[in-house]
Structures are given as C-alpha cells and as structure tokens.
Chain A
C-alpha cells in the first residue's frame, strides 16, 4: 500500500515538474475513434519536437457538443486556447469578434511564418473574412464523394469500373441493382438534406444557396435554396425512395447510412471523403469503388467544384498567460508543415490543406498507389469557383440544418412537395437569420 502511494506521489511530482517547464495549450476537439487517435498522435509528435509547449488535446464529443462546450466555457472564463469548430459553426464564430483571436493576427503577433497562398484556395476562401484574412487555422477539411460496392455492380450486370456520372444514370443503375436483387437498395446519402443533398447539390449545379454570395457578403443574406431545381431534386429523391432505389438513413449525418453500405444493403453511399478510412476498414468481403459526386445534367453540363466540410481550429481570446498564444502559433506552424499535413491527409482521407502537402503526396506516389484517394481534391479544385460554389456562411446554420432535415422528412413521408418543403424551410431559416443579424449587429 505504502509502495503504491509513494509511486503515485512520485508520478504526480514528475508530471508537476514537467508541466512547470512547458506551457500547456489546451485543445478541445471533436474527433472520436480512429480520427481521434490520429489527432492525439499529431499533438504528441508536436510535444516531442520541442520542450517549451505542451499541447493537451481533450475530446469533447460531437461537433455541436464541442462548440457548445467551448461557448459555455467562454462565458464562464474557462475557455481552451484552441477549439475545433465544424464548418457550419463558421458563421457563428466569425460574428463573435471579441471572442476569437484571428489566426492571421496571431501568427503576425508572434512572428511566425504565415503564407495564406500556400493553402488550397477553396479551403482558404471558406475561412477568410471580407478583406481576405484567414480567421481560423484550416485543419481537417473534407468534401463528399461517392463510394460504391463493385461486387454488387457486377452481380447486377453493371460494369464495376464505371460509376454513375449523373443523377439520372444513378437512378437507372440503382433500379437495375434493385430489380436484379443484387442489393435491397441502390443508394443512400449521409447529410441527405443538408451538406450532401442540398448544399453541395446547389454548389455543383451552380445554384445560389443564399443572397450576398451565399452569405459571404454580410449578415443581411437570405436563403435562395428553394429554387425549382432543388425542389425537383428533392421530388426525385422521394420518387427514388418509393421505387426502393434510395434509402434514407436518418437526419444529420445519417447514422444508418454507412452501416447500410457496409452490410451491402445499399450499393452506393455518398459521404465525406474522410469516411474513407472507415469504409476501407468496414467493407469486409467486397471491393469498394470511389467516384466523384454525380451531377444533374438537366441543370448543368459543366459541374462546378464541390464545397468543403470538416473543421478548423479557432483560437479563443482571454488566456491569462500570453505565452499560451506563442505556443498556439508554434503549433499552427507545425501543423502546416507539408509532412505533418500529408500524413494527416493520407491516413484520414481529409483533404491536404496546403499545396505543398498535395505536392509531397504526388512526389511520394501516394495517389498512384492508392486509387481514389485524389478524387476529393480533384473535385474540390475543378473549374473556377463561383459565388455559388465558394461555400456557405450563415449564422446559426446548425439550427437551420436541423429544420431543413425536418422539411426533407416531410417530403419523404409524402406530406409536402419538394417546393413546399423548401419554401417553408427558407422562410423559417430566414427568420433565424434575422434573429442572428439582430443579436450580432451594432
């Protein structure tokens, strides 16, 4: 007993001295499972690379939970130095001017090298203010891609090397798969009503999501996603569902979508490029194909770039010890190193954030060795981004996404047409935008 106690005392003393030497930088994040392990490895390698600062990652649950926790902590004066906020929370964070320490300023104040041009354009654009300054540190950005089951394609008499290019082809192939009995359902979508089925649909088809360049131009933005094209797309999904070709897997990210793909119930799954590692691990007993998101050839002949999801790292104001910010700046410099970025990108499926990381991957021959791994980056960098495909910036988008989910469910259960549902969603969403504008102006 005494031995145990003294061991514990020594351990405490040791950890106390080590933390005395290094300034601690708390990092709240939302990466569970495999991704969380990889993230901790990144922090640990940074800690081993120098001895002045110690980054302490803390898992805070889902993205919304992490954001809520950080806000509550900020109100109580207990905020972490770094918090990982998903892309949907960007509008909320940008409007909170007093709470956020913009990354371009942080790097300048601490004399760390900072070159915004080194980052991928679509990533930088999403997180810059109107003057072009990057406000948060890009970390894990993804974009939706298509995963398909090659074995089921074969069984259904389809060419397993050819994925559907358009939504019309997808419907035809899905029907063939279901009719032939190769799988019970053709395709399923994560974020069926939001990130994949409305936000990226609008961007790829070059349709406006909201006024003022999808909200980049200011808080007075209003939703425009209730266009007739989006309405027709939703009606089509309902039609596909009735024909058993499409299967809905729940609101938000769609908790049941990936499992239906793994269980070979659904032949095609559209989700984040960062699901790649999970898909490869879980796709037992069948070959997976990767392909870009389909486009709607009734709307456009020239699909635009898709938009990103994922998260960035925000620095919060109010740390009592100014050295902490020096540590944050050093850590961000470490994070943007090509080898660190390339390693994170290659082991998770997130996009390489910097051009240098992408080039490093090309030099290593990673993309040739790993087929499908460059689909996401090619899709996000194709063509010139328009006002409709640069991204989204709306306040309280988390809540608005919830209500869009609810409206989509009303379409799927046959209560509303696509147009009615989108009109209602736009109306309720605009009310939330006005509320956000009122509480963030003056």
Chain B
C-alpha cells in the first residue's frame, strides 16, 4: 500500500499548522492538569491567601480515610453495574432491531433520543419517578409489598443511580452494536443455519465472538463514562447518600473541593482519577486494539 507523504520545506509552517490544536490542548488540558498536580501537594485555605507545601500528606491521608476507600468500593460496584446493565440491554435491543428490516430505522431513531438528554435532566427525571413521596415507581412497588426509599436504603440508592446512568448510555452502546452486527457477514450465520444451529446457538457461537472488538471497546467506554461522566446524575438524584453509599469518586472530588472547600485533598483525588483514566486509555489502545482480532 502506498501512502502519500507531504513534505514541508519550511521549518516553521508545520508548527504553525499544529499551533491551534496544541494551544487548545495546553490551555484546556495540560495546564489544569498541572495545576491539579501542584495543588495536590499543597495545603491551602479556601481563598488562596496562604499555602504550605506538604509533600504527600494529602495522599496518605486519603488512603487512610475509610470514606475514600468506601468511595472506591462504591465506584467499582457502580461502574460494573452500569456497564453490564447498559451493554446487556443495548445488545438485546440491537439484536432485535437488526432482525426487523423495514422499521429498523424508526426504532434506531427512537433509541438514540436518550443520548441527547443532559445528565442533570436525566437525573432529575429518575429522581422524580423514584421519589419516595410522589414518585410513580415507589407507588407501584408498594403493591408488590416493597417499600422503596433511596433516602434510607443504601441498596435502593445504588440501584437508582445505576438505572439512571445506564439508561443514558444505552443509546450510544446501541448504535455501536447495530453497526457491529451489520458488519457480521450474513454468509457465516447462513452457513451455521445450514449446519443446523438454532438462533441462540448461532448468536452465541458465531455472532457474539465476531462482535467482541465492539464489545471490548464499549466496555472501556462505559467504564470510563460511569467513573467520570456521571457527576450530574448523582448530584441530581442522591447527592452521594444515604450514608455515603453512592458517593462515587468523581462526586467526592466535587463534594470535598467545591462544597467542602478542602482544595488539597480534592486535588489529590482528582490526580488519582487522572491516573485511572491514563490506565484505562492504555488498556484500550494497547491491549484491546491488538489482542481482540479474528
């Protein structure tokens, strides 16, 4: 395969052409990240009047803090829950839509809608439906003898934020799964059908393995989403409660830094979060892109 190479004779021009992208990256990504790292080593009063360099004190305190370890645990449960629920449902929807020929587009359009809803609005929507005093779902559940109250029951609260966060991500996953399913060659499933494999067998032994690059890609995206992009949902539904059960890492950064005005420890938490993103990105680029091939 031949690639066309453009050769720049001027030494300045390439830098000039790159400049807009570089400047944006520096100002909006590198600079704040560097600020966060610097602040994580400081102990500061809220107004920034005085600051002491404290080395790793903010980090060691964090790792000794039972609330932080609890937040780690909650984040794990939450991101696994969101990933499994949203990917499972969207795969189911994608398979269904893939089978209907004519109305497929119609369903696709409908299923993409939730993606356009802002996280805070999604949170509020679910908060309203699950509201223990006026919500419709607690009312319906009461007929089944279940007293829903995410203000008091930690399990209910976790289920609520998982549902709200997963619902929002279904559209995205669905689109990728539909595209993935359409790229599975029809001939393979037909061949399997001729060999006598039923629909279930065909799906699990032929289609699903062929989908695995999409599945792995989505798994990483969903975990990243659940860990970093769900602040609005938590803020609008449970605010981290009851008794810290839904206080996930990204929400804790906000609560400690913006509500508590405790900047050093909050910056240390965001640095740890940054490291997690780095690891996830490396996993996505190195491991998934190379290992999952058929």
Contact = CB atoms under 8 A, between A and B. Distances in A.
Contact of A248 (B52, B152, B240): B152
B48 interface: yes
B243 A409 contact: yes
Q: Which of B46, B244, B264 has the most CB of A within 10 A?
A: B46
Ranked 7 nearest A-B pairs via Cβ? A399-B260, A409-B242, A410-B243, A99-B47, A409-B243, A96-B47, A98-B49
B120 interface: no
26 contacts: A64-B259, A74-B48, A75-B47, A92-B46, A96-B46, A249-B151, A251-B241, A256-B131, A256-B133, A265-B133, A396-B261, A399-B255, A402-B255, A402-B260, A403-B67, A405-B241, A406-B241, A407-B243, A409-B242, A410-B243, A412-B242, A413-B152, A432-B262, A438-B43, A439-B45, A440-B45
Contact of B261 (A71, A263, A413): A71
A68 interface: yes
B57 to A, nearest CB: 9
A297 interface: no
A402 B259 contact: yes
Interface of A: 64, 67-68, 71, 74-75, 92, 95-99, 248-252, 256, 259-260, 263, 265, 396, 398-399, 402-403, 405-407, 409-410, 412-413, 415, 428, 432, 435, 438-440, 442
Contact of A68 (B49, B50, B258): B258
A74 B50 CA distance: 13
A146 to B, nearest CB: 21
A251 B44 contact: no
Interface string B151-185: 11110000000000000000000000000000000
B47 A439 contact: no
A438 B45 CA distance: 9
Contact of B49 (A99, A259, A406): A99
A232 B14 CA distance: 73
Interface in B246-287: 255-256, 258-262, 264-265
Contacts of B49: 96-99
A68 B243 CA distance: 24
Contacts of B242: 251, 406, 409-410, 412-413
SS class, residues of chain A in contact with chain B: helix
Contacts of B134: 259
Nearest to A99: B47
B215 interface: no
Contacts of B212: none
SS class, residues of chain B in contact with chain A: loop
Contacts of A403: 67
A409 B43 CA distance: 31
Nearest to B242: A409
A248 B151 contact: yes
B239 interface: yes
A424 to B, nearest CB: 9
Nearest to B260: A399
B43 A413 contact: no
Contacts of B43: 435, 438-439
A415 B241 CA distance: 14
A401 to B, nearest CB: 10
A265 B131 CA distance: 15
Q: Which of B133, B256, B262 has the most CB of A within 10 A?
A: B133
Contacts of B261: 67-68, 71, 92, 396, 398-399
Given A92-B261, A399-B259, A413-B154, A251 B46 contact: no
Nearest to A251: B241
A217 B133 CA distance: 43
Nearest to A98: B49
A432 B67 CA distance: 13
A249 B131 CA distance: 11
A442 B50 contact: yes
A435 B61 CA distance: 10
Contact of B48 (A75, A399, A409, A413): A75
A225 B195 CA distance: 75
A396 B265 CA distance: 13
A74 B154 CA distance: 38
